A and B are shown apart, each in its own frame.
Chain A
Amino acid sequence: GNSVTQMEGPVTLSEEAFLTINCTYTATGYPSLFWYVQYPGEGLQLLLKATKADDKGSNKGFEATYRKETTSFHLEKGSVQVSDSAVYFCALSDQTGANNLFFGTGTRLTVIP
């Protein structure tokens, strides 16, 4: 079956610190992988995605590389800002054509000045 396991959190970092949020997955076939972000009071927004092995998704200074050999899609950012405080969700799509997304439990990040 399909599942996503991500680092539980919460994570608290000082501004300009390095961020890693771990995400591993189990899937049949060749899934697409996503990171979504949810800012307070808002809906989930797509942060970045990768559709095949070794692809790197990037956006707003965040990066994640699709690693098939380790079934991972870890999210990284070199220097976090207070405005990055949010909940981050790792997800996969099994590409059945139904847009099914399987989510991790979410990781709350708080960045302090």
Chain B
Amino acid sequence: GAVVSQHPSRVICKSGTSVKIECRSLDFQATTMFWYRQFPKQSLMLMATSNEGSKATYEQGVEKDKFLINHASLTLSTLTVTSAHPEDSSFYICSAVKDPAGPTDTQYFGPGTRLTVL
């Protein structure tokens, strides 16, 4: 199989605090992982591409200083929402591509993390 987990599945925090979300590939190595954001009744929007051992590539309009991505190993990428505000409340989803990655490979998705900022 190809299982991707996320932790936590749900988090509630106060405005101004930082929240870290973990994305793990459980049974495969992934040089490349992706972070998406989904608003209610809207599409998944790609936020950034996370590459092991190098800086993440952010999509236009995504603040890299606010959404810190670290991909320190071939099975773990983390997304830290810094100084979270209510408008950051959303559903965050990660995905991973098995190594070696090709242009048409399948992305394997985690179950998502629901962030609520009070």
Contacts and interface: CB of A to CB of B under 8 A. Distances in A.
B47 to A, nearest CB: 12
- Looking at chain A, what size class is its interface with the partner chain? 20 to 34
Interface of B: 4, 6, 32, 34, 41-44, 46, 49, 93, 95, 97, 101, 103-112
Contact of A42 (B42, B49, B101, B111): B111
A99 B112 contact: no
Contacts, number: 52
**A interface, by DSSP: helix, strand, loop or mixed?**
loop
Q: Is the interface of B mostly helix, strand, loop or mixed?
A: strand
Interface of A: 4, 8, 32, 36, 41-46, 49, 51, 89, 93, 95-106
A43 B104 contact: no
B103 A44 contact: no
